[in-house]
Protein backbone atom coordinates (compact mmCIF):
# COMPACT_ATOMS: atom_id res chain seq x y z
CA UNK A 1 0.00 0.00 0.00
CA UNK A 2 1.29 3.44 -0.85
CA UNK A 3 1.56 5.81 2.09
CA UNK A 4 1.25 9.44 1.11
CA UNK A 5 0.37 12.59 2.98
CA UNK A 6 0.86 16.29 2.54
CA UNK A 7 3.56 17.62 4.83
CA UNK A 8 3.17 20.70 6.94
CA UNK A 9 6.56 22.33 7.17
CA UNK A 10 7.94 22.98 10.62
CA UNK A 11 10.58 22.06 13.15
CA UNK A 12 9.79 19.00 15.23
CA UNK A 13 11.52 18.27 18.51
CA UNK A 14 11.35 14.88 20.16
CA UNK A 15 11.62 14.99 23.95
CA UNK A 16 13.18 11.99 25.59
CA UNK A 17 12.77 12.18 29.35
CA UNK A 18 15.03 10.06 31.50
CA UNK A 19 14.02 9.95 35.17
CA UNK A 20 16.67 8.53 37.44
CA UNK A 21 15.04 7.12 40.53
CA UNK A 22 16.86 5.31 43.34
CA UNK A 23 16.37 5.12 47.09
CA UNK A 24 15.83 8.71 48.14
CA UNK A 25 16.69 9.72 51.71
CA UNK A 26 15.76 12.91 53.51
CA UNK A 27 18.14 15.71 52.59
CA UNK A 28 19.43 13.94 49.51
CA UNK A 29 18.82 15.17 45.99
CA UNK A 30 18.21 13.16 42.87
CA UNK A 31 19.08 14.08 39.29
CA UNK A 32 16.72 14.16 36.34
CA UNK A 33 17.84 14.71 32.76
CA UNK A 34 16.04 15.65 29.59
CA UNK A 35 17.53 14.73 26.23
CA UNK A 36 16.31 16.87 23.34
CA UNK A 37 16.91 15.32 19.91
CA UNK A 38 16.13 16.87 16.56
CA UNK A 39 14.00 14.58 14.44
CA UNK A 40 14.90 14.43 10.75
CA UNK A 41 12.62 16.59 8.66
CA UNK A 42 11.41 17.03 5.10
CA UNK A 43 10.89 20.57 3.83
CA UNK A 44 11.31 23.02 0.99
CA UNK A 45 14.72 24.71 1.18
CA UNK A 46 13.99 26.94 -1.83
CA UNK A 47 10.89 27.53 -3.97
CA UNK A 48 11.09 29.17 -7.44
CA UNK A 49 10.23 32.83 -7.82
CA UNK A 50 7.23 33.92 -9.89
CA UNK A 51 7.02 32.97 -13.55
CA UNK A 52 6.79 36.37 -15.26
CA UNK A 53 5.97 36.40 -18.98
CA UNK A 54 6.44 40.13 -19.36
CA UNK A 55 4.46 42.54 -21.56
CA UNK A 56 3.46 41.59 -25.11
CA UNK A 57 1.22 42.88 -27.88
CA UNK A 58 -1.96 40.88 -28.51
CA UNK A 59 -0.96 38.27 -31.14
CA UNK A 60 -2.85 37.37 -34.31
CA UNK A 61 -2.11 33.68 -33.80
CA UNK A 62 -1.54 31.42 -30.79
CA UNK A 63 1.94 32.45 -29.65
CA UNK A 64 4.34 31.02 -27.02
CA UNK A 65 5.79 33.31 -24.37
CA UNK A 66 8.55 32.29 -21.97
CA UNK A 67 9.36 32.99 -18.34
CA UNK A 68 13.10 32.97 -19.16
CA UNK A 69 13.34 34.26 -22.74
CA UNK A 70 16.93 35.51 -22.44
CA UNK A 71 18.30 32.16 -21.25
CA UNK A 72 19.77 30.72 -24.42
CA UNK A 73 22.49 28.08 -23.95
CA UNK A 74 23.05 29.34 -20.42
CA UNK A 75 22.00 28.85 -16.80
CA UNK A 76 18.60 29.62 -15.36
CA UNK A 77 18.59 32.42 -12.77
CA UNK A 78 19.20 31.23 -9.22
CA UNK A 79 15.72 32.51 -8.31
CA UNK A 80 14.24 29.60 -10.32
CA UNK A 81 15.79 27.11 -7.90
CA UNK A 82 13.60 24.33 -6.47
CA UNK A 83 15.32 22.57 -3.55
CA UNK A 84 14.08 19.87 -1.20
CA UNK A 85 15.89 19.30 2.09
CA UNK A 86 15.48 15.80 3.52
CA UNK A 87 17.29 14.93 6.76
CA UNK A 88 15.15 11.96 7.81
CA UNK A 89 17.44 9.21 6.56
CA UNK A 90 14.37 7.10 5.74
CA UNK A 91 11.36 7.40 3.47
CA UNK A 92 10.67 9.10 0.15
CA UNK A 93 8.89 12.19 -1.16
CA UNK A 94 7.20 13.78 -4.17
CA UNK A 95 6.89 17.38 -5.34
CA UNK A 96 3.89 18.46 -7.42
CA UNK A 97 2.87 21.75 -9.03
CA UNK A 98 -0.71 22.80 -9.74
CA UNK A 99 -2.51 25.88 -11.04
CA UNK A 100 -5.24 27.17 -8.76
CA UNK A 101 -7.21 28.85 -11.54
CA UNK A 102 -7.15 30.01 -15.14
CA UNK A 103 -5.26 33.22 -15.96
CA UNK A 104 -7.66 36.06 -15.12
CA UNK A 105 -7.38 39.80 -15.74
CA UNK A 106 -9.76 40.93 -13.01
CA UNK A 107 -12.48 41.52 -15.57
CA UNK A 108 -14.14 39.28 -18.13
CA UNK A 109 -11.01 38.11 -19.99
CA UNK A 110 -9.53 34.67 -19.33
CA UNK A 111 -6.64 32.56 -20.63
CA UNK A 112 -7.88 29.01 -20.16
CA UNK A 113 -5.71 26.26 -18.70
CA UNK A 114 -6.51 22.62 -19.37
CA UNK A 115 -4.94 19.35 -20.44
CA UNK A 116 -6.97 19.36 -23.66
CA UNK A 117 -6.09 21.26 -26.84
CA UNK A 118 -6.59 24.04 -27.73
CA UNK A 119 -6.49 25.21 -24.10
CA UNK A 120 -3.30 23.41 -23.04
CA UNK A 121 -1.62 26.76 -22.63
CA UNK A 122 0.73 26.45 -19.64
CA UNK A 123 3.76 24.14 -19.40
CA UNK A 124 6.57 23.53 -16.91
CA UNK A 125 10.05 22.02 -17.31
CA UNK A 126 12.97 21.42 -14.96
CA UNK A 127 16.69 21.55 -15.63
CA UNK A 128 19.90 21.28 -13.57
CA UNK A 129 21.40 24.27 -15.42
CA UNK A 130 21.76 26.55 -12.39
CA UNK A 131 24.67 28.79 -11.36
CA UNK A 132 26.83 28.38 -8.27
CA UNK A 133 25.49 25.08 -6.91
CA UNK A 134 28.10 22.42 -6.18
CA UNK A 135 27.31 18.73 -6.22
CA UNK A 136 26.67 15.76 -8.45
CA UNK A 137 23.99 15.83 -11.15
CA UNK A 138 22.03 12.66 -11.88
CA UNK A 139 18.95 12.49 -14.12
CA UNK A 140 18.29 16.21 -13.93
CA UNK A 141 18.70 16.60 -10.15
CA UNK A 142 21.68 18.20 -8.40
CA UNK A 143 22.58 16.31 -5.22
CA UNK A 144 24.37 19.10 -3.43
CA UNK A 145 27.75 18.71 -1.72
CA UNK A 146 27.36 16.77 1.54
CA UNK A 147 24.35 14.76 0.35
CA UNK A 148 24.19 11.09 1.33
CA UNK A 149 21.82 8.30 0.37
CA UNK A 150 20.40 6.96 -2.89
CA UNK A 151 20.51 9.38 -5.85
CA UNK A 152 17.24 8.08 -7.26
CA UNK A 153 14.94 11.10 -7.40
CA UNK A 154 13.25 11.22 -10.81
CA UNK A 155 12.81 14.67 -12.37
CA UNK A 156 9.75 13.73 -14.41
CA UNK A 157 9.55 16.90 -16.53
CA UNK A 158 13.28 17.41 -17.07
CA UNK A 159 14.46 18.91 -20.35
CA UNK A 160 17.75 17.93 -21.98
CA UNK A 161 18.37 21.38 -23.46
CA UNK A 162 19.30 24.67 -21.82
CA UNK A 163 17.56 26.95 -24.31
CA UNK A 164 14.47 28.23 -22.54
CA UNK A 165 13.37 30.55 -25.32
CA UNK A 166 12.34 27.76 -27.72
CA UNK A 167 8.87 26.24 -27.98
CA UNK A 168 10.36 22.77 -28.56
CA UNK A 169 12.09 22.87 -25.16
CA UNK A 170 8.63 22.65 -23.59
CA UNK A 171 6.67 20.64 -26.15
CA UNK A 172 9.25 17.83 -26.25
CA UNK A 173 8.64 17.01 -22.56
CA UNK A 174 5.77 14.68 -21.71
CA UNK A 175 3.14 15.21 -18.97
CA UNK A 176 4.25 18.79 -18.24
CA UNK A 177 0.98 20.63 -19.01
CA UNK A 178 -0.47 22.44 -16.01
CA UNK A 179 -4.20 22.70 -15.45
CA UNK A 180 -6.61 23.46 -12.62
CA UNK A 181 -7.47 19.88 -11.67
CA UNK A 182 -4.46 17.56 -12.06
CA UNK A 183 -1.10 18.44 -10.45
CA UNK A 184 2.07 17.83 -12.45
CA UNK A 185 4.52 15.55 -10.65
CA UNK A 186 7.80 17.46 -10.85
CA UNK A 187 10.01 15.27 -8.63
CA UNK A 188 9.36 11.65 -7.66
CA UNK A 189 11.64 10.44 -4.89
CA UNK A 190 9.49 7.55 -3.68
CA UNK A 191 11.28 4.97 -1.49
CA UNK A 192 10.16 1.79 0.23
CA UNK A 193 10.03 1.84 4.00
CA UNK A 194 11.16 -1.77 4.20
CA UNK A 195 14.42 -0.98 2.43
CA UNK A 196 15.61 1.27 5.24
CA UNK A 197 17.05 3.60 2.65
CA UNK A 198 16.81 7.31 3.06
CA UNK A 199 18.36 10.59 2.02
CA UNK A 200 20.15 13.29 3.98
CA UNK A 201 20.88 16.59 2.25
CA UNK A 202 19.73 19.00 -0.44
CA UNK A 203 18.30 18.00 -3.84
CA UNK A 204 17.93 20.78 -6.41
CA UNK A 205 16.64 21.46 -9.90
CA UNK A 206 15.84 24.61 -11.88
CA UNK A 207 12.40 25.47 -13.26
CA UNK A 208 11.08 27.34 -16.28
CA UNK A 209 7.67 27.84 -17.88
CA UNK A 210 5.98 28.58 -21.20
CA UNK A 211 2.55 30.14 -21.73
CA UNK A 212 0.64 30.15 -25.01
CA UNK A 213 -1.20 33.43 -25.63
CA UNK A 214 -4.39 32.72 -27.64
CA UNK A 215 -4.99 34.66 -30.84
CA UNK A 216 -6.59 38.09 -30.38
CA UNK A 217 -6.57 37.74 -26.61
CA UNK A 218 -8.08 40.77 -24.87
CA UNK A 219 -5.65 43.26 -23.35
CA UNK A 220 -5.13 43.10 -19.59
CA UNK A 221 -2.83 42.03 -16.79
CA UNK A 222 -3.38 38.32 -16.32
CA UNK A 223 -2.44 36.34 -13.22
CA UNK A 224 -2.92 32.96 -11.64
CA UNK A 225 -1.58 31.20 -8.56
CA UNK A 226 0.64 28.12 -8.68
CA UNK A 227 0.97 25.81 -5.69
CA UNK A 228 4.05 23.69 -4.93
CA UNK A 229 3.28 20.69 -2.71
CA UNK A 230 5.85 18.52 -0.97
CA UNK A 231 4.52 15.20 0.28
CA UNK A 232 5.82 12.10 1.97
CA UNK A 233 5.86 9.23 -0.54
CA UNK A 234 6.90 6.03 1.18
CA UNK A 235 5.64 2.65 0.03
Residue 19 — pLDDT band, cuts 50, 70, 90? very low
- Give the model confidence (pLDDT) of 128-138 as tens digits: 999 999 999 99
Q: Which residues of 64-89 are buried (b: 16+ CB within 10 A; e: fewer)?
A: bbbbbeebeeebbbeebbbbbbbebe
Q: What is the pTM of this model?
A: 0.82
Q: What is the mean pLDDT of residues 43-61?
A: 93
Distances (CA, A) of 145 to 76, 126, 186, 203, 214: 20, 20, 22, 10, 44
- Give the model confidence (pLDDT) of 214-223 as tens digits: 999 999 999 9
Closest CA to 95 of 45, 51, 29: 45
pLDDT score for 33: 62
C-alpha 139 chain-centroid distance: 15
Amino acid sequence: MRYKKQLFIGTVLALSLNLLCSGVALGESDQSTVNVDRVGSLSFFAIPSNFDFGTITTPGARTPEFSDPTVVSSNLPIGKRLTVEDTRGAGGFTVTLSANDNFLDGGTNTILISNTAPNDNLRIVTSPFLPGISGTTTNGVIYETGFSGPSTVNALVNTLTNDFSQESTFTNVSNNILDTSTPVVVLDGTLTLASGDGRVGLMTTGTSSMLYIPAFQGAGQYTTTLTWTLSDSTT
